[in-house]
Amino acid sequence: MLAMEYRGPKRVRAVQKPMPEIKHPQDAIVRVLRTCICGSDLHLYNGNVPDTRVGSTFGHEFVGEVVEVGSEVTKVKTGDRVLVPFNIACGECHFCRQGMFGNCHESNTEATAVGAIFGYSHTAGGFDGGQAEYARVPYANVGPTVIPADMDLDDAVLLTDVVPTGYQAAEMAGIQTGDTVVVFGAGPIGIMAARCAWLFGAGRVIIIDQEDYRLEFARNYSYCEAYNFKEMNDPVVFIKKITDWMGADCVIDAVGAEAAGNTMQTITGRKLLLQAGSATALHWAINSVKKGGVVSIVGVYGPTDNLVPIGNVLNKGLTIRANQASVKRLLPRLIDHVQNGIINPKGLITHRLPLEEVADGYRMFSAKLDNCIKTVLLPPTANQ
């Protein structure tokens, strides 16, 4: 089968690989119909996630058709079209039973700090991802969700990560009616977080980024104010100024390890890997939220340390909430929102490429070429 293959930092290609097999009685094999490149794939692509092995296939956002099931699979059957949450969750462990499907304890042998994620290095379990014609999907009774008949596959594929992560970012921010919410990062997740902040009753939503085309997109898609931090002397002072010098009620970090905007963070975090990525957005979030406010983190960082002003977290009495999205927990509500026209996931898609052009897709997304917001890859099997 055709699959994306990682060859080293900023080097990927499409190659022929063996078909995935059932390895566990609750496995399913899925023929991939749509798969996306995610902003967090760029951490892998740039070689910033430890234990990202050459030969791995990335891709944690995919939908497809079930073509084979293991002997214990009862919830899906051959022929079902399913959306596959990006986290691999058993549904039975102590954490899954609390709805923490992003923190499953029975899917990742290599690390305890993170549950398994499709195609996201051996630190996240060593599973191949969905940027391929076929994928092995463990715990098929738990994760894969049958796509409603009237739902567009382009909407469905964004329900595997982008929509739940954006929604959960807003949820974790504990937004109360009338709150001012600042979102750092106008990538797909940040744009979705800004859109979802309104669902929780925000009174004002502001998004900050350095790419004008993304800010323009966010203004239209998320109905929010959008500002370019390159035009500011200091983003924190700017936010204080536009919030009556108090700071925002809630701030969402939707950037993570690839943040720009601070030379010291960029060099130590992204170039020298002396930190677990550049924590510029998180630094700004802590300093621009009001006293007693909430910082919600969905931007992805590595497993080691970051330089952030933790003293200000104490002195300002902040609450920090963070997690990988619990996709399975959120899906019923989010499917409703999509079907009722409240959220329009496919409106984020700007590019479609055949899987064979995966190297171009990564470069385009990484270098923000051609006003790229979200890229969907179409495997040859998608047309069968």
Partner 1 sequence: MKNKTIDPKQIKGWGIDADPKNDPTYPMRDRMNVGEDPDNKHRPTLQPTHQVEKLRSIERPNISAVYGTTVPPKGLSGMIRRAAFKYSENRYRHWLPLVVADRVSVVEGVVDDLMHGHVPNIYAEKGYPVEWKHNRTAFITKMATIALATAGVVALLSSGKSKKKSKKKDYLSRY
- Kindly state whether residue 58 participates in binding partner 1, applying the rule CB under 8 A: no
State phi, psi for 172 to the nearest 5 degrees.
-65, -25
How many positions of this chain bind partner 1 (CB under 8 A)? Answer: 97
Check binding of 166 to partner 1 (CB under 8 A): no
Q: Which stretch binds partner 1 (CB under 8 A): 78-86, 143-151, 158-166, 329-337?
A: 329-337
**Which residues touch 144 (CB under 8 Å, ≥6 apart)?**
28, 30, 66, 75, 76, 80, 82, 83, 84, 85, 137
Pick one of 74, 78, 109, 263: the residue that binds partner 1 (CB under 8 A): 109
321 interacts with partner 1 by CB under 8 A: yes
Interaction of residue 16 with partner 1, rule CB under 8 A: no
| Sites for partner 1 among residues 203-232 (CB under 8 A) | 203-204, 216, 219, 223, 225-227
**Does position 241 bind partner 1 by CB under 8 A?**
no
Q: Check: CB of residue 58 under 8 Å from CB of residue 129.
A: yes
137 DSSP β-pair partners: 28
- Run of H or E residues at 148: none
Check binding of 243 to partner 1 (CB under 8 A).
no
**81 or 125: CB nearest partner 1:** 125
Query: Which residue in 40, 145, 160, 168 binds partner 1 (CB under 8 A)?
Result: 168
Give the largest CA-CA distance in the chain.
Answer: 61
All residues at 6 or more sequence positions from 315 whose CB lies less than 8 Å from its CB, including other chains:
none
Q: Which stretch binds partner 1 (CB under 8 A): 20-28, 33-41, 252-260, 285-293?
A: 20-28
Which of the stretches 34-42, 73-81, 262-270, 338-346 binds partner 1 when contact is defined by CB under 8 A?
Answer: 338-346
Residue 224 and residue 244: Cα distance in Å, rounded?
18
- Gyration radius from the chain CA atoms: 20
Determine if 273 is a binding residue for partner 1 (CB under 8 A).
Answer: yes
Q: Is 356 in the site for partner 1 (CB under 8 A)?
A: no
- The answer to whether 179 touches 293, Cβ cutoff 8 Å, is no
56 CB-near residues (< 8 Å, 6+ apart): 5, 6, 119, 121, 122, 126, 128, 129
- The span of 77-85, 96-104, 147-155, 261-269 binding partner 1 (CB under 8 A) equals 96-104
Provide the minimum distance between the beta carbon of 163 and partner 1 in the complex, in angstroms, as a whole number.
Answer: 13
